[in-house]
Amino acid sequence: MTDQVRTIDYGYSPATTSAEERNKVLRNTYWLLALSLVPTVLGAWLGVATGMTRALTGGVGLMVFLAGAFGFMFAIEKTKNSAAGVPVLLAFTFFMGLMLSRLIAMVLGFKNGPSLVMTAFGGTAGVFFVMASLSTIIKRDLSGMGKFLFIGALAILIGGIINVFVGSTTGMLVISVMAIGIFSAYMLYDLKRIIDGGETNYISATLALYLDIFNVFQSLLAVLGLTSGDSD
């Protein structure tokens, strides 16, 4: 099952914050983003080691994932300006790692599973590096991308939900490929939003980028598992 979640943003207006303030937000976002990957790895490891998410299939798994993900995102939004914001965000990333463990366990079941996981990780890191570089080079305002990206993400989410019940391998492959493209573009959009001063809260900025990275990695891993998994 491939699930994509995304906070709602239709666009942004470049703010008049100083370059120093924008750089501070970007720096804090990068630090928190790196930190957020630790609970994700721990959650994924725990899920794979214990098999505790193995039973979360079909509609039950979908309900648990959506309820947990959107519940955490609501809590992050409410606490982003307080001392509780960072712990809540890290708890969310642990939950997301736990939910990702089922897909990782399935891929690790292939003979070449470990190499597929590392390829997906390397591919995601490469996408992030490219988008981070482009965000510093592109000077034009990208705020208009927000509406189109949101529509694309919503279409992917609806398609993913439908495919949970249909169970189409081809459908999952198509949705995953689309998700790689949409959330890679979202990375550029979110990074440019920080650089332009459209996002001034580093917890919100980290959440947005984390979701982009999570969805690209998950979708890339699903594509590799479906197309390159060696079951011999």
Listed in sequence order, the residues at least 6 apart from 25 whose beta carbon sits closer than 8 Å to its beta carbon are 194, 199, 200, 201, 202, 205
Mean pLDDT of 111-139: 93
> 56 lies in a domain?
yes
Q: Coil, helix or strand for 168? A: coil
> 6 lies in a domain?
no
> 4 lies in a domain?
no
- Which pLDDT value is given to residue 9? 56
Q: Tally the domains of the chain.
A: 1
CA distance 104 to 47: 9
pLDDT-based confidence at 17, cuts 50/70/90?
Answer: low
> 162 lies in a domain?
yes
- Which pLDDT value is given to residue 11? 57
> 10 lies in a domain?
no
Mean pLDDT of 10-23: 68
User: 112 lies in which domain range?
Assistant: 19-228
> 31 lies in a domain?
yes
**Model pLDDT for residues 21-55, shown as the tens digit of each residue:** 888 999 999 999 999 999 999 999 999 999 888 77
> 14 lies in a domain?
no
> 43 lies in a domain?
yes
